[in-house]
C-alpha cells in the first residue's frame, strides 16, 4: 500500500496536540513533538511518531510523568547530574545537554549524567544542540535488553546508541548517530507495523536463528560482532553504572513492563572547541572534510560517497519539500489515538 505524505507542520501540530491532551505543558509538548517529527524528517522513522501511541500508554498509566519536577545538581566545575522526575526522556535529555553546554562555556567541557528518565528517542537531536551552540556534542543512552551479545544465547544489553555532532562553517555539521545493534529495534517495529519483511542479519528468533519475519524477532545482533558488543557495554557503564540506575537485564522493559517506570540513564558531553583550537579554523576544516569526502571517486557510480549524517540531511530536505511518508499501519494507530484524545485526525 502506498504511504501517505503528511506535511511537516501538520504532523508537528498533531503530535503536540496529542501530547498536550496527555498532560504535557504546551512548550514541552512542542519540544517532544519536534524530536519525533525531526526523526521522521531525517528518515529515522523508527524513532518518529510511530512511538506516540506507546508514550500515550505510559503517560496514561503514570509510568511517565507528564509534568516532572526535574532537579539539576552541579557536582563539580564541569559535571552535573539531572534527576528527570520520571518525565519524558526527550525533556530530560534536552535539559541534560543544555546543562552540559553551559558547563562547557564555563569550564571548557561539560559532562552531565541523567537518571530517572525514560526513552529519549534519537540521540542525534541532543548532540546537534551542542553543534548549534558551536561545540562538539556527544549523547549516549541505554535501554532494556534487546541485543544478544557475542557468545550469548539471550538478550543481555540494549541497543545503546551513541551520537556525535561537530559544527561546520558554511556547510552542515558532521553528525554520527548509531545504535550498537546492527539496527535499532524501532526499525523492526516499523517493519512489523507496515507488514514488511526484514533482512536476515537484523534479528534472531526464539531459537537464536536469523529471521526475516519482524514479528518473530526476540533479539538483535550487535553491529560488527564483538566490537559492537564492547561499545554497547561501554555505553551501559556510562549511562547506568555512572548515574546509579538499573543496568542490563535489570532495566524495565519498554513494551513488556508497562506498569513500571523505566528509570533510564543518559550521558551528555559538550566540548568547547575554543579551548583546543581556533573555532573558525575548526569549522572551515569540517567543511573541507565534507567536501573531500564527496569528491572521492565512488566505488559505485550510482551511490556517491556521503559523510555520516548526510543521508539523513538529504532525507530531511526532501521530506520538508514533499511531506513525511507514513504507512497505513502507523496512520491507523495515530488515528485511533486521535479519536481517544479528541484530536482531529491526520
- Grid cell for residue 283: 569549522
CA–CA distance, 119 with 140 (Å, rounded to integer)? 12
Helix, strand, coil share of the chain (percent; to 5): 45, 20, 35
Say whether 63 sits in a helix, a strand or coil. Answer: coil
List CB contacts of 179: < 8 A, sequence separation 6 or more.
Answer: 159, 160, 161, 223
List CB contacts of 73: < 8 A, sequence separation 6 or more.
Answer: 80, 81, 82, 83
Complete DSSP assignment for 85-113? TTB-HHHHHHHHHHHHHHHHHHHSEEEEE
Nearest to 184 by CA among 232, 230, 252, 151: 232
Residue 150: CA count within 13 A, CB half-sphere: 14
Q: Given the residues 47, 54, 119, 182, select the one marked as catalytic.
A: 119
120 DSSP 8-state letter: -
Identify the H or E element spanning 142: none
- Respond yes or no: is residue 119 known to be catalytic: yes
Is the separation of the CB atoms in 210 and 201 below 8 Å? yes
Nearest to 31 by CA among 96, 116, 88, 114: 88
Is the separation of the CB atoms in 186 and 202 below 8 Å? no
Identify the H or E element spanning 21: helix 8-21
Complete DSSP assignment for 199-244? -TTSEE-TTS-EES-GGG--EEPBTTTHHHHHHHHHHHIIIIITTT
Q: Which residues belong to the active site?
A: 119
Amino acid at each position: 500500500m502506498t504511504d501517505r505524505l503528511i506535511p511537516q507542520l501538520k504532523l508537528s501540530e498533531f503530535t503536540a496536540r496529542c501530547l498536550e491532551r496527555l498532560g504535557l505543558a504546551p512548550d514541552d509538548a512542542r519540544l517532544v513533538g519536534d524530536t519525533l517529527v525531526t526523526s521522521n524528517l531525517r528518515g529515522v522513522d523508527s524513532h518518529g511518531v510511530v512511538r506516540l501511541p506507546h508514550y500515550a500508554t505510559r503517560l496514561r498509566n503514570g509510568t511517565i510523568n507528564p509534568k516532572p519536577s526535574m532537579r539539576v545538581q552541579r557536582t563539580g566545575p564541569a559535571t552535573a547530574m539531572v534527576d528527570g522526575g520520571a518525565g519524558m526522556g526527550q525533556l530530560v535529555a534536552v535539559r541534560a545537554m543544555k546543562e552540559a553546554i553551559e558547563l562547557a562555556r564555563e569550564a571548557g567541557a561539560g559532562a552531565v549524567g541523567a537518571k530517572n528518565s525514560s526513552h529519549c528517542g534519537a540521540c542525534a537531536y541532543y548532540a546537534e544542540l551542542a553543534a548549534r551552540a558551536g561545540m562538539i556534542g556527544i549523547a549516549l543512552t541505554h535501554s532494556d535488553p534487546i541485543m544478544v551479545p557475542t557468545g550469548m544465547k539471550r538478550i543481555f544489553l540494549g541497543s545503546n546508541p551513541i551520537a556525535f555532532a561537530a559544527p561546520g562553517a558554511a556547510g552542515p555539521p558532521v553528525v554520527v548517530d548509531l545504535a550498537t545493534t546492527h539496527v535499532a529495534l524501532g526499525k523492526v517495529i516499523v517493519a512489523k507495523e507496515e507488514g514488511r519483511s526484514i533482512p536476515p542479519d537484523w534479528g534472531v528468533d526464539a531459537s537464536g536463528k536469523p529471521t526475516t519475519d519482524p514479528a518473530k524477532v526476540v533479539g538483535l545482533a550487535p553491529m560488527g560482532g564483538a566490537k559492537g558488543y564492547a561499545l554497547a557495554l561501554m555505553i551501559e557503564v556510562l549511562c547506568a553504572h555512572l548515574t546509579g540506575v538499573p543496568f542490563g537485564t535489570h532495566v524495565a522493559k519498554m513494551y513488556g513492563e508497562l506498569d513500571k517506570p523505566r528509570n533510564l540513564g543518559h550521558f551528555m558531553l559538550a566540548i568547547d572547541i575554543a579551548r583546543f583550537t581556533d573555532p573558525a579554523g575548526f569549522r572551515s576544516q569540517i567543511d573541507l572534510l565534507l567536501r573531500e569526502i564527496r569528491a572521492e571517486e565512488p566505488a559505485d557510480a550510482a551511490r556517491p560517497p556521503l559523510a555520516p549524517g548526510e543521508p539523513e540531511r538529504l532525507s530531511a530536505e526532501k521530506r520538508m519539500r514533499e511531506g513525511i511518508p507514513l504507512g497505513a499501519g502507523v496512520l491507523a494507530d495515530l488515528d485511533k489515538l486521535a479519536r481517544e484524545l479528541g484530536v482531529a485526525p491526520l
